Structures are given as structure tokens and as C-alpha cells.
Amino acid sequence: MESQNISRRRFVKRALSAIAVAALPVRSALAQSTIWTRLEWQQFRASPQYASFLDAIRLMRANNNAADPNSWRFWTNIHLNSGLHGVPYFLSWHRGYIHHFEQRLRTVSGNSQLTLPYWDYFKNPNVPAEFTDPSSNNPLYVSRVNTNVYDALTLAPFEPSIVNFQRGTTNAFEVLLEWGPHNPVHNIIGGFMAGMDASMDPIFWLHHANIDRLWHAWALPDGKNMPWYTDPYWSGSFTYAIGMTTQRDRTYHINWMNYHYDNLTRPSTFPPRAEAARMVRVQMQPGRGSRRPAAGNFALAGPRDLGGGKRSLGGARNISLADVSTTVQVPIEAASRQQLQSALGRSAGAAAGAAPYRSVQVAFDSVKMNGAARNGGFYYNVYANLPEDYDAETAQRRNLLGVIGPFEIAAAEHHGGGNISFPATGLLADLAPDARDISISLVRVGGRAVQRGQSVSIGEIRVELSTEEPNQDGKFIPKPASACYC
Ligand SMILES: [Cu+2]
């Protein structure tokens, strides 16, 4: 087993001393603990651990006592009740979560060497065959809508310009990775994966191990602009269950959790689509030109104060989404333009601290799905001010507000109300702060075979000003130059 480690103690010592140390990993037999290597599924299934993995999952799925950590439902309930999505620590929380699960797999299988495999869909977008064999004794099988996630892939988080990490900074990696490929993989696969019970599907764990690997691969070689582990950002802990707690700062680096990945190459190309039958797709082909969806004919909602330091600049009501894409045009009245500019930090008023509004968001109210839509297989990319002709990958970085699909709507329902809100301050400040209208486009991805007709309804889509400060770039303790992230 590879021992490539900087022990925590050594790391701290190095960080505190002013001695410049070459940024090389310490390879030493003196490393305090073993570093376990997580393998890609194709290697993993040929490894001696494969049988233990199947054993553990079979046993856990057969255990119906949800209060027992050895049961499958126990782990789904942790995710259901305390999973962090669309908020800070999305990546950090899941790193701790799957790490605890990996340890449970060892306990249940009795194999202390077992590690969690990952599925690299940038290499092969097909759910591995072992998961799709419906024989009754296959512990990896559950019913799914799609078994190819090509439609969920984007390279946007790995563009060289993406060096920030946390929410509220421009081009934040954590946000981009959640909007793609993380959420789209949930939505496109469908079934359990498209809802809050996602971890009932065994592929969930391989998906999240891959997301975790992509985070580490992105952070290499220097930790990018992640807050240094002594920054208050990392203080506190996650409690997953009784006796199952992880300090946040421990999730800063995978070596501190005693594991590693066999491949830390960042994705740079799309895989072959791999299924000839699915080549019919025309919309949202990554890297290919697309046209902004035509504006729909919606009832307009005028500007109004919303209370609580918020003001609507306007929007549209009663939007019903079928299996097509649409655009909502929000005209910005002359009287509101100055307020918008202030909120985007573009006017003297804002600089002097005189304007009340500091941030902009795009809000979706009362988002609902019909019954069939819940099963997933599709989603919508939500963009602001999409150019008439656009390149999907560029739009992913510049115009993407987020994703709306069964996974996000189920989460919004779970948290009450079905309201979804996307921060838009940085994005609109970059795009067109003086625009006379703001357009919100919903671009449908996937699901041709499954979802015909109306699938999602939205009470109102509006552009909101808020007196809340957006977080800003650079407000964190950076990694000392003498320390290494390796
Ligand atoms: Cu999750």
C-alpha cells in the first residue's frame, strides 16, 4: 500500500516554521498511519476487495432495522436528514459521510482493507454493468431511468480560471461541481438517485467517491484558493450520527483522512457517448453551439417590495415546463435600474454605502413536480442572459445560475415550500449590469424517452434585490507560501 503522506503533525509544524520547504510529498515509512487507495470500478471489480464489497452491501440491504448502522436505510436517513446540498460544505460534508460509510463497509464485511470504489464517468459514462444486472441476488441493482450519464457531464469546473473554492466567491469550484456533474448525474440516472433517498442506490457511493476525487484532483498541486485549514471556515464539525463526528478541518485534505485515489488526473475531454442508440440528442451537446430557447408567453409579475430587505424587480408567473426549453424575459423598469446597478456594486451610491441593496438573486417559488417527473431522467440548466447563439461549455461558466430537476425540487420540498433561489450578483455584474431586461433560460437536458408533457410547474420566477451582502472574494486565510498541499 502506498505511503504517501504528510502527517497532520508534520504538516502543522511545517506551516508554522518559516523555513521554506520544497513542495514535495513526504514519502516515508514513518508515516503515522496507512494511506488506503480507492480504486476506479474497473480495477476494483478485479481486486480481492470486490467480493467483500458485494457481501457488505448484500448484508446491509437485507438488514431492515433503520436504527442499526449496519443497515442500508440507516445511511440513507443520515443523508436525508442532515445532508448538505446547495450550501457551504457540500463537498466537505460528503467527504466525511462517505468516509464513515467506507469504515462501515469494513465492519460489515470483516475486511479491514476494503476501500470505497469510485466510478469515473468521464472515462465511461455508462453505469457499470455489475449495477444494471437485475437478477434478484445482485445487491448492486436498483431500478433506474437511465444508465448513461453523458448528458450530465461538463468540464467547466476544471477550466484554468476556476481557482476559487467556496460559495460567494466568483467562479467557485464547489458551486460549479455541484451544478455539474454532481446534480445532473443524480437527475439523469433517476429512480432513487433523483430524490432525497439517493443513497439507497449503490451507485450513489461510487458517484460521490468520484466527486470527492474530482475535488482533490482540482485542488492539486497547491490547494488553489481554498481557505487554509486554520481559517474559521473550517472550524466546527459534522455530526452524522451518535458517535459519528468529523472535524471540518480534517476534510481539508484526503491524506488527513488516510485515503488516496489511484488516479488524480483532472478530466479534460468528454468520453465517447458509448451508446449508439442515444446519439439522437440535439440539445446541449457539450462543446457544441446551441441557440437560446425562444421566450415563452408568460403572465408578467411587476416589481414589488417583498419585505425582509428584499425587492422583486419583476418576473413571470405560472410557468409550466414540458419536455422543451424556454426563456423568461424580465423587463427592468427604468426606475429599478439604478437599484440594480447599486446591488451589483456598479454605482457610486453602492460604493459610498448609501444604497440599501447589496446582492441579486433569481428566485423560483412553489416549484412542483408531477408524479411521473419524480422518477427523474431529466433536468433543466438555468441560465441568465444567455447569448442568442452560445457554446454550452462557455455558458456553463458564464451564464449558469444552477440546475432544476427532480433532485433539487425534492430537496426544496424536503426543506419546505418548494422555493429555490440562485445567487446571481457576480454573474450579472460580469454579464450585463445595465441591461434593460434580464433573461432567465431553462434548457431541458435528457429525458426524451421518459418525460413527455408537463413535468414541472413554477409559481413565480423573479429577479430579486436583497440588502444582504454577497460574500466576497479573498476573505479567507490563504495557504502560507511555505506550506505544501500534497
Ligand atoms: Cu448528497
CATH number at residue 316: 2.60.120
Asked if residue 266 is part of any domain, the answer here is no
| CA 140 to centroid of ligand 1, rounded, Å | 19
| CA 77 to centroid of ligand 1, rounded, Å | 11
| CA 204 to centroid of ligand 1, rounded, Å | 9
| CA 290 to centroid of ligand 1, rounded, Å | 30
Residue 250 sits in the same domain as residue 292: no
| CA 403 to centroid of ligand 1, rounded, Å | 15
Residue 346 sits in the same domain as residue 257: no
| CA 80 to centroid of ligand 1, rounded, Å | 8
Residue 104 sits in the same domain as residue 161: yes
| CA 196 to centroid of ligand 1, rounded, Å | 8
In whole angstroms, how far apart are CA 233 and each of 84, 218, 356, 486?
A: 15, 19, 27, 20
Taking the chain (486 residues) in runs of 10, the rounded mean pLDDT of each run is 39 37 34 85 97 98 98 96 89 98 98 97 96 95 95 94 90 94 96 96 98 97 93 96 95 95 96 60 53 93 92 94 88 88 70 69 93 89 94 90 94 86 90 81 78 79 91 80 85
Distance from C-alpha of 285 to C-alpha of 294, rounded to nearest angstrom:
18
Q: For residue 110, what is the domain's CATH number? A: 1.10.1280.10
The residue range of the domain holding 386 is 281-466
| CA 205 to centroid of ligand 1, rounded, Å | 10
Residue type for 129, please?
A
Distance from C-alpha of 367 to C-alpha of 420, rounded to nearest angstrom:
8
Residue 288 sits in the same domain as residue 193: no
Asked if residue 482 is part of any domain, the answer here is no
| CA 60 to centroid of ligand 1, rounded, Å | 19
Grid coordinates given for 190:
433517476
| CA 339 to centroid of ligand 1, rounded, Å | 37
Cβ atoms < 10 Å from Cβ of 135: 6
Residue 423 sits in the same domain as residue 351: yes
| CA 83 to centroid of ligand 1, rounded, Å | 6
| CA 78 to centroid of ligand 1, rounded, Å | 10
Residue 332 sits in the same domain as residue 242: no
| CA 286 to centroid of ligand 1, rounded, Å | 25
| End-of-domain residue from the set 194, 228, 261 | 261
How many domains does the chain contain in total?
2
Residue type for 66, please?
A
Asked if residue 154 is part of any domain, the answer here is yes
| CA 54 to centroid of ligand 1, rounded, Å | 22
| CA 52 to centroid of ligand 1, rounded, Å | 24
| CA 25 to centroid of ligand 1, rounded, Å | 31
Residue 328: its H or E element: strand 326-331
Distance from C-alpha of 83 to C-alpha of 210, rounded to nearest angstrom:
17
Asked if residue 15 is part of any domain, the answer here is no
| CA 178 to centroid of ligand 1, rounded, Å | 10
pLDDT of residue 279: 43
pLDDT of residue 274: 64
| CA 64 to centroid of ligand 1, rounded, Å | 22
Contact 115, 39 (CB under 8 A): yes
41-50 own/partner pairs: CB under 8 Å, 24+ apart: 41/117, 41/118, 41/119, 41/120, 41/128, 41/130, 41/206, 42/124, 42/128, 43/262, 44/117, 45/117, 45/128, 45/130, 49/111, 49/113, 49/114, 49/115
| CA 13 to centroid of ligand 1, rounded, Å | 34
SS3 (DSSP) at 122: coil
Distance from C-alpha of 177 to C-alpha of 338, rounded to nearest angstrom:
33
pLDDT of residue 355: 55
| CA 79 to centroid of ligand 1, rounded, Å | 6
Asked if residue 63 is part of any domain, the answer here is yes
| CA 305 to centroid of ligand 1, rounded, Å | 34
| CA 343 to centroid of ligand 1, rounded, Å | 32
Asked if residue 168 is part of any domain, the answer here is yes
| CA 101 to centroid of ligand 1, rounded, Å | 13
| End-of-domain residue from the set 261, 289, 324 | 261
Asked if residue 484 is part of any domain, the answer here is no
Residue 202 sits in the same domain as residue 305: no
* Alpha-carbon torsion angle 275, 277, 278, 280, nearest 10: 140
Contact 348, 451 (CB under 8 A): no
pLDDT of residue 23: 33
| CA 94 to centroid of ligand 1, rounded, Å | 7
| CA 144 to centroid of ligand 1, rounded, Å | 18
| End-of-domain residue from the set 230, 261, 292 | 261
| CA 208 to centroid of ligand 1, rounded, Å | 8
Q: Which of 152, 150, 132 has its CA nearest to residue 280?
A: 150
pLDDT of residue 1: 36
Distance from C-alpha of 267 to C-alpha of 271, rounded to nearest angstrom:
10
Residue 84 sits in the same domain as residue 221: yes
Residue 255 sits in the same domain as residue 290: no
| CA 186 to centroid of ligand 1, rounded, Å | 9
| CA 215 to centroid of ligand 1, rounded, Å | 15
Asked if residue 313 is part of any domain, the answer here is yes
Contacts of residue 450, defined as CB under 8 A and 6 or more positions apart, other chains included, come to: 145, 190, 372, 375, 377, 378
| CA 349 to centroid of ligand 1, rounded, Å | 41
Residue 294 sits in the same domain as residue 168: no
Residue 203 sits in the same domain as residue 300: no
Residue 257 sits in the same domain as residue 373: no
SS3 (DSSP) at 164: strand
